[in-house]
Amino acid sequence: MVTFELLDEPDSSITEPSTALRRQIQHLFGRSLHIRHVDAGSCNGCESEIKLLTSPYYDIHRLGIFFTTTPRHADLLLVTGAITRAMVDPLQRTYAAMPEPRLVVATGACACDGGIFGRSCLTLGRLSAILPVDTYIPGCPPTPLALIHGLLLTLGRAEQRLHRQILAHHADGKA
């Protein structure tokens, strides 16, 4: 039987925007979103897929989504990897260098809940431990289409298909 371990609630110090505010942010970024990607200890599988987003097959630019080199221009932080100890500080600096409002997306099983690494002596095991995560894109690695769906979901341009309640439901074995 497959069980889902649900994530802990994020640190109380990390505040999440209200629904109204989120709407406004989505409206702001809806047509033009700039992404700063940070690899916080991935296996390079996620990067490989993210890189392909700009390839002719997916061409994410057509959706008004771009990658930027500096966090100063970024609206969204796309984090991959299991959050290694050495990357915690650079990651937080990157987030701090971004202008507000800003979105955070955890990409891949590693960033979502640590993947096979989990919480270990060398990895934090989940992005939500240090940053307020807006969207989780699961998968190991998430395919380019999953990535696009996740990004559009963040922007309010696509519908969420799985919900926490349903997962919890399944986890409790009441399916």
DSSP 122: S
Stretch that binds other proteins, among 10-18, 138-146, 150-158, 167-175 (CB under 8 A): 138-146
Cβ distance to other proteins smaller for residue 7 or 52: 52
Nearer to ligand SF4, 26 or 128 (CB): 128
* Selected binder of other proteins within 10, 118, 132, 156 (CB under 8 A): 118
In the complex, the smallest distance separating the C-beta of residue 170 from other proteins, rounded to whole angstroms, is 22
Place of tokens 């979901």: 153
Q: Cα–Cα distances in Å, from 29 out to 14, 111, 154, 158, 173?
A: 22, 23, 10, 14, 39
Both tokens of 79, joined, read 């984090």
Instruction: Give me the 77-116 binding string for other proteins, x by CB under 8 A, dash otherwise.
Output: ----xx-xxxx-xxx-xx-xx-xx--------------xx
Handedness of CA 51, 128, 112, 87 (dihedral sign): positive
CA distances from 78 to 73, 133, 144 (A): 14, 10, 13
Q: Residue 48's binding partner, choosing from other proteins, ligand SF4, none, with beta-carbon cut-off 5 to 8 A by kind?
A: other proteins
Gap between the Cα atoms of 115 and 127, Å rounded: 11
Q: Strands, E, within 8-82: which ranges? A: 33-39, 65-67, 76-80
Residues that bind ligand SF4 (CB under 6 A): 42-43, 45-46, 80-81, 108-110, 115, 140-141
Q: Single out the residue of 140, 166, 167, 168 in contact with other proteins (rule: CB under 8 A).
A: 140
Q: Is 126 in the site for other proteins (CB under 8 A)?
A: no
Q: Which is nearer to ligand SF4, 25 or 40 (CB)?
A: 40
Phi, psi (rounded to 5 degrees) for 29: -95, -5
Query: Which residue type is seen at 11?
Result: D
* Residue in the block written with tokens 């992404």: 35
> Footprint of other proteins on this chain (CB under 8 A)?
36-52, 55-57, 67, 69-72, 81-82, 84-87, 89-91, 93-94, 96-97, 99-100, 115-123, 140-141, 143
